Structure 1
Amino acid sequence: MYIDIVPNRKSPPAILLRESVRDGKKVVKRTIANLSSLSLEQAQLIRQILKGEPLVAPEACFDIVNSKAHGDVDALLLTMRKLGFNNLIASRSSKERDRVVAMVASRILNPESKLAFSRSWENSTLGETLGIEDTREDDLYAAMDWLYERQDTIEKKLAKRHLSPGDHVLYDLSSSYVEGKQCPLGKRGYSRDQKKGKLQVNYGLLTDGRGCPVSLSVFPGNTSDATTFLPQVERVQNDFGLESVILAGDRGMISEVQLNVLRERPGVDWITALKSGAIRKLCDEQAIQLALFDERNLFEFTHADFPGERLIACHNPELAYHRRKTRASLLEATTAALTKVQGMVKKGTLKGADKIGLRTGRVINQYKMAKHFKLDITETTFSFAIDAESVRKEADLDGLYVIRSSLKKEKRTANNIVLDYKLHILAHCEHQILPSVNTYSYPL
Structure 2
Amino acid sequence: MFMIYNIGMFLKRCARIHKGKTYQSWWIVEAHREKGKIKHRYIMNVTRFTPSQRKRIVKLLRSPDAQLIEDMEEFFQEGVGYGDIVFFLYQIRQLGVTSILKKYLSRKALSLTLAVMLNRIIRPSSKMEAIEWIKETSFPHFCPLKEKDYQANRVYEAMDKVYDDLDNIMEDFYQLSEEKPLFLLYDVTSVYFEGRCVKKAKNGYSRDRRPDRPQVLLGLVLNEKGFPIHFEIFEGNLKDSETLQGVVKKVKERFGLEKGIIVGDRGMITTNNIEAIAGESLGYIMALKHEGAKNFLREKRIQLELFDKRLPLTIFEEEGKKYILCGSEYRKERDSYVFNKLLEKGKEALEVVERMIRQGRLKKYEKVIRRAQKKLTESGATRYYDFSYEEEERKFTIIEKENEIEKAKALCGYYVLKTSEVEMQDDKVEEHYKKLREVEQVFRDLKDLIDIRPIYHWIDRRVKTHIFLCLLSQVVLGRVRKRLKEKGWLGKKKENTLERFITLLGTVQLGEFSLEDKTILRVQKKNPLEKILQRIFDLSPSHLARDTEICRV
Give the TM interval when normalised to the shorter protein.
0.7 to 0.9
Residue 121 of structure 1 deviates from its aligned partner by 3.9
Structure 1 segment 258-337 matched on structure 2, within 5 A: 258-266=273-281, 268-286=282-300, 288-293=302-307, 295=309, 297-304=311-318, 307-328=319-340, 331=343, 335=347
Q: Aligned AA for 2:228?
A: P
What CA RMSD, in Å, does the superposition of the two structures yield over aligned residues? 3.1
Cα distance, 1:277–1:350 mapped onto 2, change above 3 Å: closer
In 1, distance between residues paired with 2:404 and 2:198? Answer: 45
Q: Aligned AA for 2:307?
A: F
Q: Aligned AA for 1:371?
A: R
Q: Which of 406, 417, 423 pairs up with 1:403? A: 417
Conservation of the 8 A alpha-carbon contact between 2:115 and 2:134: no
In 1, distance between residues paired with 2:193 and 2:351? Answer: 40
Partner of 1:239: 254
Residue 421 of structure 1 deviates from its aligned partner by 0.7
Conservation of the 8 A alpha-carbon contact between 1:156 and 1:240: no
Whether 1:352 and 2:364 are equivalent positions in the alignment is yes
Residue 236 of structure 1 deviates from its aligned partner by 1.1
Residue 345 of structure 1 deviates from its aligned partner by 4.1
Q: Which of 99, 102, 117 pairs up with 2:115? A: 102
Q: Which of 122, 125, 130 pairs up with 2:138? A: 125
Unaligned residue ranges in structure 2 (runs of 5+): 1-69, 457-553
Q: Aligned AA for 2:369?
A: G
Q: Aligned AA for 1:373?
A: Y
Partner of 2:198: 183
Corresponding residue SS for 2:266: coil
In 2, distance between residues paired with 1:258 and 1:335? Answer: 36
Residue 336 of structure 1 deviates from its aligned partner by 6.9
Cα distance, 1:294–1:197 mapped onto 2, change above 3 Å: closer
Residue 330 of structure 1 deviates from its aligned partner by 5.2
Cα distance, 1:205–1:346 mapped onto 2, change above 3 Å: closer
Conservation of the 8 A alpha-carbon contact between 2:202 and 2:235: yes
Cα distance, 1:87–1:435 mapped onto 2, change above 3 Å: same
Residue 166 of structure 1 deviates from its aligned partner by 5.2
Residue 335 of structure 1 deviates from its aligned partner by 4.8
Structure 1 segment 404-443 matched on structure 2, within 5 A: 404-409=418-423, 412-428=424-440, 430-431=442-443, 434-439=446-451, 441-443=453-455
Structure 1 segment 41-120 matched on structure 2, within 5 A: 62=74, 65-91=77-103, 94-120=107-133
Q: TM-score of the superposition, structure 1-length normalised?
A: 0.76
Structure 1 segment 374-413 matched on structure 2, within 5 A: 374-379=386-391, 380-409=394-423, 412-413=424-425
Which structure is larger by alpha-carbon Rg, 1 or 2?
1
Cα distance, 1:339–1:126 mapped onto 2, change above 3 Å: closer
Q: Aligned AA for 2:74?
A: F
Partner of 1:224: 239
Conservation of the 8 A alpha-carbon contact between 2:193 and 2:453: no
Cα distance, 1:421–1:133 mapped onto 2, change above 3 Å: farther
Q: Deviations over 1:134-192 (max 9, x none)?
A: 34222211211121233222332233332634521112222212222221222222222
Conservation of the 8 A alpha-carbon contact between 1:292 and 1:299: no
In 2, distance between residues paired with 1:334 and 1:277? Answer: 17
Conservation of the 8 A alpha-carbon contact between 2:285 and 2:420: yes
Corresponding residue SS for 2:79: coil
Q: Deviations over 1:97-151 (max 9, x none)?
A: 2322222122212212211222234311112312224342222112111212332
Conservation of the 8 A alpha-carbon contact between 2:80 and 2:136: yes
Cα distance, 1:163–1:243 mapped onto 2, change above 3 Å: farther
In 2, distance between residues paired with 1:258 and 1:318? Answer: 30
Conservation of the 8 A alpha-carbon contact between 2:183 and 2:260: yes
Cα distance, 1:352–1:119 mapped onto 2, change above 3 Å: same
Q: Aligned AA for 2:286?
A: T
Structure 1 window deviating more from structure 2 (361-370 vs 71-80): it is 361-370
Q: Aligned AA for 2:274?
A: L
Unaligned residue ranges in structure 1 (runs of 5+): 1-57
Q: Which of 152, 161, 174 pairs up with 1:137? A: 152
In 1, distance between residues paired with 2:229 and 2:371? Answer: 49
Residue 417 of structure 1 deviates from its aligned partner by 1.2
Residue 263 of structure 1 deviates from its aligned partner by 1.4
Residue 347 of structure 1 deviates from its aligned partner by 7.5
Cα distance, 1:155–1:289 mapped onto 2, change above 3 Å: farther
Cα distance, 1:349–1:147 mapped onto 2, change above 3 Å: closer
Partner of 2:162: 147
Q: Percent identity?
A: 25
Cα distance, 1:355–1:398 mapped onto 2, change above 3 Å: same
Q: TM-score of the superposition, structure 2-length normalised?
A: 0.62
Conservation of the 8 A alpha-carbon contact between 1:272 and 1:404: yes
Q: Aligned AA for 2:326?
A: C
Corresponding residue SS for 1:377: strand
Higher relative contact order (CA 8 A, sep 6+): 2
In 2, distance between residues paired with 1:376 and 1:216? Answer: 49
Whether 1:192 and 2:203 are equivalent positions in the alignment is no
In 1, distance between residues paired with 2:338 and 2:245? Answer: 35
Conservation of the 8 A alpha-carbon contact between 1:166 and 1:244: no
Q: Aligned AA for 1:252?
A: G
Conservation of the 8 A alpha-carbon contact between 1:288 and 1:313: no
Conservation of the 8 A alpha-carbon contact between 2:326 and 2:414: yes
Residue 363 of structure 1 deviates from its aligned partner by 5.5
In 2, distance between residues paired with 1:114 and 1:333? Answer: 40
Conservation of the 8 A alpha-carbon contact between 1:90 and 1:97: yes
Whether 1:203 and 2:218 are equivalent positions in the alignment is yes
